[in-house]
Structure 1
Amino acid sequence: MTPDDVREVHRIGEIVHPAYPEDIETVKERLSLFPAGSFVAYAKDRLLGYAISHPSVVGKPPALDSMLGSLPEDANCLFLHDIALTEASRGLGLGRSLLDRLKTAAQQANLGRIALVSVNNSRGYWQAQGFRVFEADAALAVKLATYGDDAAYMVLEIA
């Protein structure tokens, strides 16, 4: 992903995740803090999806639509902040391709896990990719509640 992609990435995010709006500045900050973890998926010169990630600490995701300021020095996972694919991407294998790139980014950053918050009834999809539900403590449970009733914090061991 480059800064030139941010406007279209933000537009796709608003379409795919209307219940989880984020300011375009959030996308810009994530890209600037960790460009090695932000990817776009193109087909026929058209942006069809993206993944945005950054180093984090397992069990401590940032709040939705919040600025990080900096990355944690004690990071032990790559947090998949957002992934979105348009309807036009279906059947092209772009979700798997983006996940493979995220695994590589995590390994290159010496992070042995990828973490995410599953929403929109996607827990089954992420479990099929090898992610497991991480038991939430009280602080994590409060953050997860802001994502909706079906939200789950999940972790994939890759090391």
Structure 2
Amino acid sequence: MTENDLPQVMEIQQQAYETAVLESESVIRARRSSSPQLAWVAEDASGVCAYLFCYPSQVGQVTPLDGDFNSPADADCLYLHDLAVASRAAGRGIGPALVKQALQRARHHQLRYSALVSVQDSQPFWSRLGYAEHAELDPPHAEHLASYCIPATYMVCHLN
């Protein structure tokens, strides 16, 4: 993902998410800057059609909505913060392809897990990709999960 991709990333976010979970352009820029090697886009003939933001983390650590990424030195997990696909590209397998790329990177760096917060009834999608609900969160991270202000589920995938 490059700086030039951000206007299209913002448009895709608007299409994909409820107003309650939209992040500002400054937050999106910070996401990209915090782990640029883990921020990807997919393109089609019309330009950017999907994006994925990730960062190293630890299982059980939930980033609050609009919160800063905290990448610990002893990361054991790749946190998928935001995956979105433009409506014009839905159903083409682009989202799973981006996730597959991210998980390959995680395995290469010997991370044992991947985690995310599922919103907008996306749990079946994530379950098909190997993620399962992880309900045991300590109180601060349970509060971070609640910051999404819509039903949200923390999910984890064990990487082999």
Give TM-score scaled by structure 1 length: 0.90
C-alpha offsets along residues 60-107 of structure 1, whole Å, 9 cap, x if unaligned?
122111233x52212111111100011111221101111111112212
- Give yes or no for contact 2:63–2:145 (8 Å, CA) kept in 1: no
Q: Could you tell me which amino acid in structure 2 is paired with residue 56 of structure 1?
A: S
- Give yes or no for contact 1:119–1:148 (8 Å, CA) kept in 2: no
Q: What residue is the counterpart of 1:5 in the other structure?
A: 5
C-alpha offsets along residues 124-144 of structure 1, whole Å, 9 cap, x if unaligned?
211121101112332222222
Q: Greater shift after overlay, 102-111 or 118-127?
A: 102-111
- Superposition deviation, residue 31 in structure 1: 1.7
In structure 1, the residue corresponding to 2:21 is in which secondary structure? coil
Q: Could you tell me which amino acid in structure 2 is paired with residue 12 of structure 1?
A: I
After superposition, where does 1:139-154 map in structure 2 within 5 Å? 139-148=140-149, 150-154=151-155
Runs of 5+ in structure 2 lacking a partner? none
C-alpha offsets along residues 1-48 of structure 1, whole Å, 9 cap, x if unaligned?
112112221221122113212121222222222122111111114211
In structure 1, the residue corresponding to 2:157 is in which secondary structure? strand
Q: Greater shift after overlay, 125-134 or 106-115?
A: 106-115
After superposition, where does 1:45-84 map in structure 2 within 5 Å? 45-68=46-69, 71-84=71-84
- Superposition deviation, residue 110 in structure 1: 2.5
State how far apart, in whole Å, the 2-side matches of 1:45 and 1:13 are. Answer: 16
- Superposition deviation, residue 52 in structure 1: 0.6
- Superposition deviation, residue 149 in structure 1: 5.1
Identity %: 32
- Superposition deviation, residue 121 in structure 1: 0.8
Q: Could you tell me which amino acid in structure 1 is paired with residue 71 of structure 2?
A: L
Q: Could you tell me which amino acid in structure 2 is paired with residue 51 of structure 1?
A: L
CA RMSD of aligned residues (A): 1.6
Q: Could you tell me which amino acid in structure 2 is paired with residue 30 of structure 1?
A: R
State how far apart, in whole Å, the 2-side matches of 1:107 and 1:3 are. Answer: 27
Give TM-score scaled by structure 2 length: 0.89
Q: What residue is the counterpart of 1:19 in the other structure?
A: 20
After superposition, where does 1:9-158 map in structure 2 within 5 Å? 9-17=9-17, 18-68=19-69, 71-135=71-135, 136-148=137-149, 150-158=151-159
Higher RCO, 1 or 2 (CA under 8 Å, sep at least 6)?
2
Q: Could you tell me which amino acid in structure 1 is paired with residue 92 of structure 2?
A: L
- Give yes or no for contact 1:55–1:76 (8 Å, CA) kept in 2: yes
State how far apart, in whole Å, the 2-side matches of 1:12 and 1:90 are. Answer: 11
Runs of 5+ in structure 1 lacking a partner? none
